[in-house]
Structure 1
Amino acid sequence: MNLHLGNVTQFSSKETALNENPVAAQIEFRHVTKMYARIAAVKGVSLTVGQGEFVTILGPSGSGKTTALMLLAGFVAPSNGDILISGKSVAAVPSYRRDQGIVFQNYALFPHLTVRRNLEFPLEMRGMKAPDRVKRVDRMLERVRLAEFGDRMPSQLSGGQQQRVALARALIADPPILLLDEPLGALDRNLREQMQGEIKSLHREFGKTTICVTHDQEEALTLSDRIVVMRAGQIEQTDTPEALYDRPTTRFVATFLGEANILEIRDFKVEADAAQPSGTVAVVRPERVCIAAPGAPKRADADLRQSVTGKVDDMIYAGPLRKYQVRVGNSMVIVREHVASGQQTFKPGEEVCLGWLRSDVRFVKS
């Protein structure tokens, strides 16, 4: 929860708008390791997050992403290395003395307090006068579209409304850093998509340096300026969402961030007929693969494409998308295409021709 019990910045007597003078902080991990007995939950992690940047730490269970967030929050201390905020070491600073807002997966709202009192609490702990607290809470409730819900208890709100209260409480004291721990994990798909838009809007407005932890790839791609992919306690790759998706450097990143075809088809060509580097596998994304009947006319760019034939193993209809699984030799190639009017569809057992631009093939470390 967003508790600030000591060594905190006091508010001036003149209450200002939350986003009038936005404050953000740079974060730096320097060779940070966290050991639990003989197990390294985080191992030698170095990372710099710029002021006002939105960075998502993404990875499967056990990858160390949550431990990294807990280290930054001050709930656990590093075994080795250092963590700096705005150039100052905070490795030995307890969590309640770190000026940051935190949103937990289960919201962690005070169940015995109204929405208004939940938002007032961090302001009260910082010594803000009652009239100024009321004004700021009113503005924040208006901002998150909950002006009519201030007197309700958390149990009287929907999941999406509780999440907005949690975000509002984390932001209301104007901390330079916002930490999000699986913030949308408890919501259904439609609410998650709505809240993704809300979080992006709040980040644009308040400009807080934000670290988000999630295992949801779509959420990471949608929200982030950069994504940090973790595996077994270490950083596998860090880049912008587009670069990470289009240019993964390892097989793990390619297959974890979205779907990927690992091409084990012999004698296919790539851009400029480049030789496949040793220790790599060839990857192409499913949406880059086109599917057609064997006798279909050749495309205008046929000389730039790789073509193979196969047999449809399965077809899955998913609303705007149609997904094919096509067996080519001993390999299974996934094709994902947008559904369009008059589009030819293929049933399991049918022969098809697959094609992709050779420039869409990426070689990644196996």
Structure 2
Amino acid sequence: MEKSLVPTQIEFRSVTKTYGPVAAVKDVSLKVHRGEFLTILGPSGSGKTTTLMLLAGFEAPTKGDILVAGKSVSAVPSYRRDQGIVFQSYALFPHLTVRRNLEFPLEMRGVRAAERTTRVDRILERVHLSDLCDRMPSQLSGGQQQRVALARALIADPPILLLDEPLGALDRNLREQMQGEIKSLHKDFGITTVCVTHDQEEALTLSDRIVVMREGRIEQTDTPEALYDRPASRFVANFLGEANILENPGFHVESAAPQPLGTLAMIRPERICVFPINKTKLAATDQRQSVIGTVEDMIYAGPLRKYRVRVGNSLLMVREHVASGQEIFRPSDEVRLEWLRSDIRFVAA
């Protein structure tokens, strides 16, 4: 179904939140489609967590309105909003077993004992915790506690799931495993999900769309692919991955399209190929740009090798996947860099 035809589940209408003279969120307007996984991404102080707290009902807008399924919820307290919430700290009840943690929200909704047992057994199996149902939270690993928190948020079948830095407390390997688990759960349950994170990889992996915030405002909203490949501003280009901003580079930048006024040329590091200076140029040279530079640094990062290459006034970052038989360049080596002119993007300064 076309995204434009999917009903809007959540809508922010010119929402502002101030704390005294400080505006944490400034005139934010946003629509979240039913069943969508939307991530709010930004650095510390960008307003992303405040935006989520407004949606959760822990804060009230100073101006504007928030609608869920077409009805205003700005004055509705958090406990009366039909939503599941997962916090970075998990917020499990430490004195209750896994099973009792999952039964609690159903008890609060008046679900009968037999139905509670059925639902808990079903979701324990879904998150692979059936064998751990009688353990206390302190007896679980971080990843297991995270799965319990997700299961508790989902067990009452809420129409909306809110995730506040859900994987921030996990190490890298567990974080990657849980990204897959969250993605799978979202696909299975189809719940409209709003996630807040500062982790760019997490946002790119999980999201249908990403909202990038800066200083309380929305800088850009788009799909992960569009945001990464076509960032609207220098801030988005630098925040979402690495970017070579070609500002007064010291060489003429060739591109497939004219450069709009007030913009800067940009190219992603993985779009640049690095060769020995005497190697035959790639085919279709009329579609490519070639420059000569000097390697200043080489960084080995497991599956990737990163070079910093001085070209004119610019220090370009080049990123390539490590492969057997690949030539390795060292500091002071002269190299030739090539890229497609069509890979040059233009961003607002």
Given candidates 4, 12, 27, the residue that maps to 1:44 is 27
Partner residue of 1:350?
333
Percentage of matched positions with identical amino acids: 76
Name the structure 2 match of 1:270.
255
- For residues 237-261 of structure 1, what are the alpha-carbon distances to aligned partners after superposition, in whole Å with 9 as ceiling and x for unaligned? 0000000000001000000000000
Alignment partner of 2:320 out of 334, 337, 342:
337
Return the letter of the residue paired with 2:335.
V
Distance in 1 separating the partners of 2:242 and 2:160: 33
RMSD of aligned alpha carbons? 0.9
Pairing partner for 2:206 from 223, 229, 239: 223
Q: Which amino acid aligns with 1:268?
A: V
Secondary structure of 1:267's aligned partner: coil
Question: Which residue number in structure 1 is paired with residue 190 of structure 2?
Answer: 207
Name the TM-score, length of structure 2 as normaliser: 0.96
Return the offset for 1:330.
Answer: 2.1
CA contact (8 A) 1:314 1:347 kept: yes
Q: Which amino acid aligns with 2:255?
A: V
| 2:146 maps to 1:163 | yes
Q: SS of the residue aligned with 2:53?
A: helix
Q: Which of 112, 117, 122 is the equivalent residue of 1:139?
A: 122
Could you tell me how far 1:25 is from its partner in structure 2? 7.0
Residues 154-303 of structure 1 aligned to structure 2 (within 5 Å) = 154-264=137-247, 265=249, 266-272=251-257, 274=258, 276-303=259-286
Aligned residue in 2 for 1:4? none
Is the contact made by 2:277 and 2:336 (CA closer than 8 Å) also made in structure 1? yes
Matches of 1:351 and 1:78, distance apart in 2: 57
State the secondary structure of the residue aligned to 1:203: helix
Shift of 1:277: 2.2
Aligned twin of 1:323: 306
Q: Indicate conservation of the 8 Å contact 1:25/1:177, yes or no.
A: no
In structure 1, the gaps of 5 or more residues are 1-23
Structure 1 residue 319: deviation in Å?
Answer: 1.1
Return the letter of the residue paired with 1:344: E
Q: Which of these residues, 70, 78, 92, is aligned with residue 95 of structure 1?
A: 78
Q: Secondary structure at the match of 2:131?
A: helix
The answer to whether 1:60 aligns with 2:35 is no
Contact 2:93 2:101 survives alignment (8 Å): yes
Distance 2:59 2:338 in 1: 51
CA distance, structure 2, for counterparts of residue 25 and residue 346 of structure 1: 52
User: 2:337 corresponds to which letter in structure 1?
Assistant: L
Separation in structure 2 between the aligned mates of residue 299 and residue 326 of structure 1, nearest angstrom: 19
Amino acid at match of 1:191: L
Q: Secondary structure of the equivalent of 2:286?
A: helix
The SS at the match of 2:328 is coil
What is the aligned residue count? 341
User: Contact 1:25–1:52 (CA<8 Å) still a contact in 2?
Assistant: no
Q: Following the alignment from structure 1 to structure 2, what is the Cα–Cα distance between the partners of residues 129 and 340?
A: 59
Residue type of the alignment partner of 1:128: V
TM-score of the pair, normalised by structure 1: 0.92
**1:308 deviation in Å?**
1.1
Equivalent position SS for 2:297 = strand
1:190 match: secondary structure: helix
The structure 1 segments of at least 4 consecutive aligned residues displaced by more than 4 Å after TM superposition are: none
Counterpart of 1:269, as a letter, is E
